[in-house]
Amino acid sequence: MAEWIRFIAGSVFLLIGLFIFCVQLFGVFRYKYVLNRMHAAAMGDTLGISFSLVGLMIFSGFNFVTLKFALVILFLWCASPVSSHLIARLEVTTNEKLEEYCKTEKETDK
């Protein structure tokens, strides 16, 4: 019985993670502008992967591997937002026609 509960809980988490990955993929190909696409991609990189890994943690049970999974989640949560931030910063500093795509500080000041 306990095995079944564990299996169902793990698969639910995995399926939620897969669903978020699907939404991410859809968003990446649906949007045309960098910052919009990045928003969609970053969602899967943090939330989707953490849901999938939590599902795998439930499958593996409580042991040393679980700790490693937790460390992987921590690492990804550190690394992915920072890389997204760098891409966004590069886009903002290099795009000369940024006002066409989104509100900038200059416009809001007016």
Nearer to other proteins, 47 or 76 (CB): 76
Rg (CA), the chain: 19
By CB atoms closer than 10 A (0-12, 13-18, 19+), residue 60 is middle
Contact 102, 35 (CB under 8 A): yes
Minimum CB separation of residue 39 from other proteins in Å reads: 17
Residue of 32, 93, 100, 109 interacting with other proteins (CB under 8 A): 93
Q: Which stretch binds other proteins (CB under 8 A): 7-15, 35-43, 58-66, 79-87?
A: 79-87
Rounded-to-integer distance, Cα 15 and Cα 22, Å = 10
67 binds other proteins (CB under 8 A): no
**Residues binding other proteins (CB under 8 A):** 75, 78-79, 82, 85-86, 89-90, 93-94
